[in-house]
Amino acid sequence: MRAFATSPCAFDLVILDQEMPDLKGTEVAEKLTSLRPGMPILLYTGCQDSDLTAVAQAAGITDIAVKSLAIEDLLHMVDKAFNFKEAPQEYSGLPI
């Protein structure tokens, strides 16, 4: 949060876990989007339900990733967050 608050335009994308020690990912997202509206934010969670989806949408979260997500699916979500017209068909050689 401190790094983002100091320089919000230095970030292209934020990926948050919903369950963090001090705040929920949705709470952090609200703070981030208040500093930089429209910031692409992906929320990573172990359990997605309609309540979380509604809260995430209200917090400005771009998309929700459910844990055990394949790297190809995560990269597709990143492409979608940046509004690319079409995600690459294959990803290779990417460090995890």
Q: What domain range includes position 38?
A: 2-81
- Number of structural domains, the chain? 1
What's 30's domain CATH number? 3.40.50.2300
Identify whether 86 is part of a domain. no
Q: What is the pTM of this model?
A: 0.79
- Using one digit for the tens of pLDDT, what is the confidence trace for 20-39? 899 999 999 999 999 999 99
Q: Which amino acid is at 35?
A: L
Output 70 or 89, whichever has higher pLDDT.
70
